[in-house]
Structure 1
């Protein structure tokens, strides 16, 4: 089954008509920023969706995850399925309501990006300014990111999830 994309305005009309809005992002992403009324069903649990007789509109942040997984999303239900074109970013740009909870921590992957980037920068600066051995820090972080990309397991993300600021329950 082919899954169609909808503009934010068309998706809003369909949702107002009874369609379910499903956010396929991770729980930490949904807790920080979400479209009011969206149900969070992370992509890894998408097979648990039960829309009843309602159409489903799937969304992510930019639309890339939903497009990349369109076949899987369409197979998740017998109900008519659609993708919100451009995701929550396009929804926000269209001037539609988005709930932001700035009290929630940044998404884990953004934390990984900030931490990894900071460690690489520090390693390079210390390598040039103090001792060449500090370049090893940048190499270590780069190797860790390569390993994460190859295996799907990120040690830095696992460590960051255990930090005190990330122990809050998702809303």
Structure 2
């Protein structure tokens, strides 16, 4: 019988902000896409997109021997990253409660770049557009409404499983990719950080 490890404890934005102000900052790994990271991120955080983290978790593990806080938009991808790193044996993992959304709502500092639509907004646009289009086309083409039904089923599954296939697909678009962080560069930055 296998046991699933307990999820990592979360860390509130206020508690993390206090640690940063006191000079006791944990390593911050932001697992969002490079495009999302460039829009807004916590100062001092490292961008390691979720797919890169999963692919190179054993390499990262060797350079993450202290406390690590995982950050994403709202907590879902960070929880997935925590699972991947915990499976590789990395202790002292925490997830930023509410992600960058809660961090910004708390008035904590962010480094800002060019404004972009976040992944959730892109998913809502694509899903809504497909449902609207198939609903309109369904007036003339019998059965077209079933595409909208499939999108609805996919969104329901995404909510229940805390995953999103459409988000994964959209993250591969050039708009969201940008320059992918090179794992060697990330590891060099982790080594040189105080």
TM-score (norm 1): 0.67
Query: What's the RMSD between the two structures over aligned residues?
Result: 3.8
Matches within 5 A, 1:1-171: 3-15=8-20, 16-44=23-51, 45-46=53-54, 47=57, 48-50=59-61, 51-67=63-79, 70-76=82-88, 78=90, 80-104=92-116, 106-107=117-118, 110-127=121-138, 131-133=139-141, 136=144, 138-140=145-147, 142-143=149-150, 157=169, 161=173, 168-169=178-179
TM-score (norm 2): 0.61
Distance 1:36 1:115, change over 3 A: same
SS of residue matched to 1:49: helix
Contact 1:60 1:87 in 2 (8 A): yes
Contact 2:70 2:82 in 1 (8 A): no
Q: Gaps (5+ residues) in structure 2?
A: 159-163, 182-194
Distance 1:161 1:76, change over 3 A: same
Contact 1:49 1:76 in 2 (8 A): no
Aligned pairs, number? 162
Distance 1:76 1:35, change over 3 A: farther
Contact 2:11 2:97 in 1 (8 A): yes
Q: Gaps (5+ residues) in structure 1?
A: none
Contact 1:28 1:108 in 2 (8 A): no
For 2:64 and 2:170, locate their aligned partners in 1 and report how far apart those are by CA, in whole Å.
36
Contact 1:126 1:132 in 2 (8 A): yes
